[in-house]
Amino acid sequence: MADLTAPNNGPPKRKRPPPRLVNVARAERLTERLTSVTFRGDRLADFGPPKPGGHIKLLFLPDGVTWNPDDPKDETPRPPSRTYTPRRYDRDACELEVEFVHHGEGLASNWAQTAKPGDPMFIGGPCGGYDIPEDIKNLVLVADETSMPAAGMILEALPDGRQVEILCEVTDQKDERDLSPIINCSPTWLHRAEEGVRQGVLLERAVQEIAAAHETRHWWIACESATMRRIRDHLLKECSAEPSRLHTRGYWKLGEANYPDHDYGND
Ligand SMILES: Cc1cc2nc3c(=O)[nH]c(=O)nc-3n(C[C@H](O)[C@H](O)[C@H](O)COP(=O)(O)OP(=O)(O)OC[C@H]3O[C@@H](n4cnc5c(N)ncnc54)[C@H](O)[C@@H]3O)c2cc1C
């Protein structure tokens, strides 16, 4: 019989399925600072489809270590992981494409620089994502290099006829690219190098300019954590934006490795 005096800790947590072992099928340098890696494996047959803007965990097994996450008796410590966007999923081919920004030194960024066919990878997820509001008419996507893959997924999932404005902050013109191979769009590209400013400043300025001009719109904002928080504060406090129309997410944090995947800026 259930113990009715026990504290209510909410519904039981869903057990995470074990990460899937896949291999690199191909790796392609898209720009100087971006590599697309396509993973393939039978274990991807029931992977998705992921929600737009959802995420996966990539687990990097150290050289010389073996791990079988399907075996509950395997006591190998869970390998270090990083959060990425499942940009393109092809169920028939059992393939998943992920786009890696080369931001400098980092476990994942370094791995992607030398990724080659056959390299193994464990993939956890997919999880989360953006529930496109039913009443959406106007959406502003605010992205930096790391969230451009997610912005592309959202563009592809939006119902026809919605107005979208896209702000993308990148280092310079060499980082510009199509956000989607199937949706035509014209992002406003903001180049940090030309202006000589730190990451996020141009996104903040651009949001302030367009927020002043419009009232009712939805915002999807994903970038460096402190930048996201400043933008969120501005929209809520200075522009009286409705919290329900804001979807904000810190994708990484300056100076912090392995930043958590659940920074929505509302704590
Ligand atoms: C939901 C979600 C989806 C994401 N999707 C993608 C994606 O599709 N592609 C992608 O490239 N990234 C994506 N990211 C961001 C990615 O998880 C981080 O950039 C991560 O830190 C990269 O891991 P790393 O091992 O290379 O660097 P880490 O070891 O985590 O960090 C090392 C150092 O690099 C710094 N750093 C990390 N990222 C950047 C950056 N972009 N610019 C400058 N400095 C940085 C850190 O502050 C730290 O000081 C996503 C994050 C989230 C939360």
Domain parsing of the chain, residue ranges: 20-127, 138-252
CA of 103 to the centre of ligand 1 (A): 8
CA of 146 to the centre of ligand 1 (A): 7
Output the pLDDT for position 70.
Answer: 96
Rounded Cα–Cα distance for residues 257 and 123 (Å): 19
C-beta atoms surrounding 101 within 10 Å: 24
Average pLDDT for residues 125-130, to the nearest whole number? 96
Output the pLDDT for position 5.
Answer: 44
Which residue puts its alpha carbon closest to atom 33 of ligand 1?
257
* Candidate of 83, 154, 258 to mutate for ligand 1, largest count of ligand atoms within 8 Å of Cβ: 83
The rounded mean pLDDT for the chain is: 93
CA of 240 to the centre of ligand 1 (A): 31
Tokens of 68: 């079988």
Output the pLDDT for position 17.
Answer: 85
pLDDT over 70 percentage in the chain: 93
Q: How confident is the model at residue 212 (pLDDT cuts 50, 70, 90)?
A: confident
Strand order of the β-sheet with 163-170 is 188-191, 163-170, 138-144, 218-224, 246-252
Average pLDDT for residues 121-128, to the nearest whole number? 97
CA of 145 to the centre of ligand 1 (A): 10
Q: What beta strand segments (E) does the chain contain? A: 20-31, 34-40, 55-59, 81-84, 88-90, 95-101, 120-127, 138-144, 163-170, 188-191, 218-224, 246-252
- Which of 97-111, 120-134, 159-173, 200-214 has the weakest average pLDDT? 200-214
* Candidate of 57, 103, 254 to mutate for ligand 1, largest count of ligand atoms within 8 Å of Cβ: 103
Torsion (CA) 146, 249, 257, 104 in degrees, nearest 10: 20
CA of 116 to the centre of ligand 1 (A): 20
Average pLDDT for residues 81-106, to the nearest whole number? 98
Which residue puts its alpha carbon closest to atom 34 of ligand 1?
106
Average pLDDT for residues 95-104, to the nearest whole number? 98
**pLDDT tens digits along 111-122:** 999 999 999 999
* Domain 138-252 fold: Rossmann fold (3.40.50)
- Which of 3-12, 103-112, 159-168 has the weakest average pLDDT? 3-12
pLDDT reading at 4 higher than 80: no
pLDDT reading at 177 higher than 80: yes
- Do 20-127 and 138-252 fold alike per CATH? no
Q: How confident is the model at residue 215 (pLDDT cuts 50, 70, 90)?
A: low
HSE, CB side, 13 Å, CA atoms: give it for residue 134. 0
Rounded Cα–Cα distance for residues 48 and 89 (Å): 7
pLDDT reading at 11 higher than 90: no
CA of 213 to the centre of ligand 1 (A): 32
Are the beta carbons of 181 and 149 closer than 8 angstroms? no
| CATH label, 20-127, candidates 3.40.50.800, 2.60.40.10, 2.40.30.10, 2.40.170.20 | 2.40.30.10
pLDDT reading at 55 higher than 60: yes
Which residue puts its alpha carbon closest to atom 38 of ligand 1?
252
